[in-house]
Amino acid sequence: MTHTVVSINNLTCRYGDFTAVKDLSFEVNQGEIFGFLGPNGAGKTTTLRTMMDFIRPDGGSIEVFGIDTRAEPEAIKARVGFLSSELVLWENWNGEQYIRWLEKVRHKPMLEEAQRLAQLLDFEMKRSLQGMSTGMKRKIGVIAALAHKPELLILDEPSIGLDPLMQQVFEELMIEVREEGRTVLLSSHDLSEVEAICDRVAIIREGELQTVENVANLTRLAFRWMNLTFKDEAAPIEGFDRINGVTDISTENGELRMRVSGDADMDTLIKHIAQYPVKDLQFDHPTLEEIFLTYYGREA
């Protein structure tokens, strides 16, 4: 049986006249990695900060582990690991001192797990936090959020500042958390990040929920931009426009660019391309805005 870990019900948050989150509802189930996707300023951080009881909803409610976030925030936080998008640390400590202090606050052993995570993330625990780069601070933030083995991880833009190698380690850690039956809710404005590890995703735009989808469906519905350069000849447009799922074909500076949908007839497309001497082929991920527009059948 699937347990609901997070339940957001008709959440509305306002900053003065500006409504940051409008009537938002979705649920996160135990043991899943749930992506919360939206462009900057969409209301992701506001929602997560409301979950942590930093700000109070103007309407609706949030339950975490079946507990209203307004009623017993400390009980929830004891079971949650949180990583803020704008992580600021107390710089007069080193990583180990910080984790030892967290052990005292949380009344849980953390150091051994923190040291394991530090090794994976290539982080030096004895090094002072002062003067560390954003990426290094982010690493200790991830370690601090994970080291007490929380039942729920709430991560706001967790991969900011992580290099590609560490991004991969981070993704492996999230998968490890899921395999242990724990839950991850992470926000991102990067579709590829969400695609890589999330099971389901909620897309938010201008404070309103657009959809909650399985990532597999989202990937199918999504599309990529294919950019082709041919050897010694002008880009041939003919024939591409008859292939299913290929649209918006254009040429610029000798490069052929087309939109290839998730359910395009790839076999026909590749065979058609193979008739020509290809010099280069590149894919661009669509922007979130383009995905939104795809969802709503409007032209990009």
Partner 1 sequence: MQPLMRKFVRDSRKTLIWTAIGVGVYVAMIMSFFPTIAEQGDQFNEILETYPEEIIATFYSGDIADFKIDDPAIFLQTEAVIWIILIMGGMITQQVLGGTINAERENKMDLLLSLPVSRREVLLGRVVNSAVFSLVGLTAIFLPVVLVQPFMESFHIAPDKLALGIYTGFFLLMVQASLTFALTSISPSHTRWAGPLAFTYFFGAYLLMAFAPSIDWIDTISPLFIFKYYNMAEIINNGLEMTDVLVMAVVSVALLGVAFWRFEKKEIAV
Phi-psi region of 286 (alpha: psi -120 to 50; beta: other; left: phi over 0): beta
In angstroms, the CA 51 to CA 101 distance is: 24
Nearest distance in Å: CB 83, partner 1: 8
Identity of the residue, 155 or 273, whose beta carbon is nearer to partner 1 in the bound complex: 155
Reduced to 3 states (helix: H, G, I; strand: E, B; else coil), residue 78 is coil
Nearest distance in Å: CB 87, partner 1: 7
Identity of the residue, 61 or 287, whose beta carbon is nearer to partner 1 in the bound complex: 61
Identity of the residue, 59 or 239, whose beta carbon is nearer to partner 1 in the bound complex: 59
Torsion 185-224-280-250 (CA) sign: negative
165: contact with partner 1 by CB under 8 A: no
Nearest CA to 273 out of 212, 230, 220 is that of 230
- Give the angle 52-55-12 at the CA atoms, nearest 5°: 100
Which segment (102-110, 173-181, 182-190, 266-274) binds partner 1 by CB under 8 A? 102-110
| DSSP class of 5 | E
Which segment (45-53, 166-174, 175-183, 239-247) binds partner 1 by CB under 8 A? 45-53
Q: Which two tokens stand for residue 74?
A: 């400390």
User: Is-contact 278 233, C-beta < 8 A?
Assistant: no
53: contact with partner 1 by CB under 8 A: yes
Backbone angles phi, psi at 275, to 5 degrees: -70, -15
Backbone angles phi, psi at 94, to 5 degrees: -105, 175
User: Is-contact 138 173, C-beta < 8 A?
Assistant: no
Nearest distance in Å: CB 151, partner 1: 13
Which segment (74-82, 206-214, 219-227, 285-293) binds partner 1 by CB under 8 A? 74-82
In angstroms, the CA 260 to CA 245 distance is: 6
Identity of the residue, 1 or 88, whose beta carbon is nearer to partner 1 in the bound complex: 88
Which of 31, 59, 73, 262 touches partner 1 (CB under 8 A)?
A: 73
Q: Which residues contact 297 (CB under 8 A, 6 or more apart)?
A: none
Reduced to 3 states (helix: H, G, I; strand: E, B; else coil), residue 264 is coil
104: contact with partner 1 by CB under 8 A: yes
User: Is-contact 138 161, C-beta < 8 A?
Assistant: yes
55: contact with partner 1 by CB under 8 A: yes
State which of positions 7-36 bind partner 1 (CB under 8 A). Answer: 15
Per-position x/- string for 77-96, each x denoting binding to partner 1 as judged by CB under 8 A, each - no binding: xx-x-x-x-xxxxx-x----
Nearest distance in Å: CB 186, partner 1: 15
Which segment (101-109, 162-170, 254-262, 289-297) binds partner 1 by CB under 8 A? 101-109
Nearest CA to 126 out of 166, 96, 155 is that of 96
Which segment (97-105, 176-184, 229-237, 240-248) binds partner 1 by CB under 8 A? 97-105
Identity of the residue, 92 or 282, whose beta carbon is nearer to partner 1 in the bound complex: 92
Nearest distance in Å: CB 140, partner 1: 11
In angstroms, the CA 215 to CA 163 distance is: 24
- List interacting residues with partner 1 (CB under 8 A): 15, 49, 52-56, 73-75, 77-78, 80, 82, 84, 86-90, 92, 101-102, 104-106
